[in-house]
């Protein structure tokens, strides 16, 4: 079969748009460095954690607006005024910025421990009171899970990405249990949320950032049943996952078997089953 030359050569439209795409990517990255650097300076000097979180929220909103990634939050009134646990799908490195911009500043993020070693980002996350959890060492992972639960019993609201990672393929991965154990044992509301648009705006495969709309939908609140026993935790996890999956309209990757994990190593994938 004779190959089609049109499929091998970039289109004229693509060639014409290439400088614009590169220019936008430079703008988005440069803006991130400027806004992130300013945020880091403020977070270093501000003495109180609640002040630092308010600044981070404002800076995240400024960055998304200036970078051409307008954020819409649907049904923010569903977020309880008191303590709660938020769980959200994970599609891009941009998700943390989006939830920082969207949620009230009282929330702490539960994040994989590797992020604590990332320059600038690690320092920012530590100053915001983020809670880092080990994913590979079972003993350290269990200790981190107990620490997260202990802080939650003292009234702290937390945000989890229960998939633990994101994939090149659109869809929802299996959820780890940590967020649901925390909500069930503390007895606080669980708030599912669905983020859309971040996968396109900042592709997981390392593609250049691009402008686009981002939406965070706060889904109906769920109340845990029982005292944190396994059946209630499992039921809460499955109910929250079903709610997020329906809102996303993306494939269930636990059913399709398509679980491509480009950011992770084989060791990371094998460790997911033991991660809280």
CATH (domain of 121): 3.40.1130
Tell me the residue length of the chain.
276
Residues 14 and 231: their CA atoms lie apart, in Å, by: 53
Q: Is the residue at 156 inside a domain?
A: yes
Please compute the mean of the pLDDT values over residues 55-77 and round it to a whole number: 97
Kindly tell me if the per-residue pLDDT of 174 is higher than 90: yes
Q: Is the residue at 138 inside a domain?
A: yes
Q: Is the residue at 103 inside a domain?
A: yes
Q: Is the residue at 165 inside a domain?
A: yes
**pLDDT tens for residues 11-42?**
655 566 678 889 999 999 999 999 988 998 99
> What pLDDT is attached to residue 114?
78
Question: How many structural domains does the chain have?
Answer: 1
> What pLDDT is attached to residue 265?
37
> What pLDDT is attached to residue 121?
76
Does this model's pTM top 0.75? yes
Please tell me the least confidently modeled range out of 73-87, 99-113, 140-154. Answer: 140-154
Under the banding of pLDDT at 50, 70 and 90, the label for residue 159 is very high
CA distances from 253 to 43, 105, 258 (A): 38, 32, 6
Q: Is the residue at 4 inside a domain?
A: no
Please compute the mean of the pLDDT values over residues 114-134 and round it to a whole number: 80
Under the banding of pLDDT at 50, 70 and 90, the label for residue 117 is confident
Residues 16 and 14: their CA atoms lie apart, in Å, by: 5
Q: In which domain, by residue range, is 40 found?
A: 11-274
Please compute the mean of the pLDDT values over residues 75-91 and round it to a whole number: 96
Under the banding of pLDDT at 50, 70 and 90, the label for residue 269 is very low
> What pLDDT is attached to residue 270?
37
Give Cβ neighbours of residue 193 (< 8 Å, ≥ 6 apart).
86, 87, 88, 89, 99, 216, 217, 218, 219, 244
Q: Are the C-beta atoms of 152 and 85 separated by less than 8 Å?
A: yes
- Across the chain, mean pLDDT equals 84
**pLDDT tens for residues 212-261?**
999 999 999 999 875 555 668 999 999 999 999 999 999 999 875 555 54
**pLDDT tens for residues 196-208?**
999 999 998 888 9
- DSSP H helical segments within the chain, as ranges? 5-8, 12-45, 49-66, 95-102, 121-127, 138-153, 178-186, 198-201, 230-248, 253-256, 266-271
Strands 214-218 and 71-74: parallel
Q: Is the residue at 2 inside a domain?
A: no
Q: Is the residue at 242 inside a domain?
A: yes
Q: Is the residue at 83 inside a domain?
A: yes
> What pLDDT is attached to residue 87?
97
């Amino acid at each position: 079969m004779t190959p089609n030359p049109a499929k091998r050569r970039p289109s004229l439209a693509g060639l014409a748009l290439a400088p614009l795409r590169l220019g936008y990517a430079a703008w988005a990255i440069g803006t991130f460095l400027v806004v992130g650097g300013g945020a880091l300076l403020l977070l270093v000097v501000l003495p109180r954690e609640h002040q630092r979180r308010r600044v981070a929220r404002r800076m995240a909103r400024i960055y998304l607006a200036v970078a051409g990634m307008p954020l819409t939050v649907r049904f923010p009134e569903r977020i309880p005024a008191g303590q709660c646990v938020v769980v959200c799908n994970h599609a891009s490195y941009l998700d943390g910025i989006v939830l920082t911009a969207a949620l009230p500043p009282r929330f702490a993020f539960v994040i994989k421990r590797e992020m604590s070693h990332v320059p600038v980002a690690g320092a920012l996350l530590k100053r915001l009171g983020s809670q880092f959890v080990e994913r590979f060492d079972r003993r350290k992972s269990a200790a981190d899970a107990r620490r997260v639960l202990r802080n939650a019993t003292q009234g702290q609201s937390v945000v989890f990405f229960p998939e633990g990672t994101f994939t090149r393929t659109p869809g929802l991965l299996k959820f780890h249990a940590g967020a649901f154990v925390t909500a069930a044992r503390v007895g606080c509301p669980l708030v599912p949320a669905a983020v859309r648009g971040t996968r396109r705006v900042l592709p997981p495969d390392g593609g250049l950032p691009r402008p686009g709309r981002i939406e965070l939908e706060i889904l109906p609140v769920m109340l845990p049943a029982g005292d944190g026993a396994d059946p209630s935790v499992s039921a809460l996890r499955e109910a929250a996952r079903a709610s997020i999956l329906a809102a996303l309209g993306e494939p269930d990757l636990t059913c399709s078997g398509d679980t491509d994990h480009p950011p992770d190593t084989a060791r990371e994938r094998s460790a997911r089953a033991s991660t809280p």
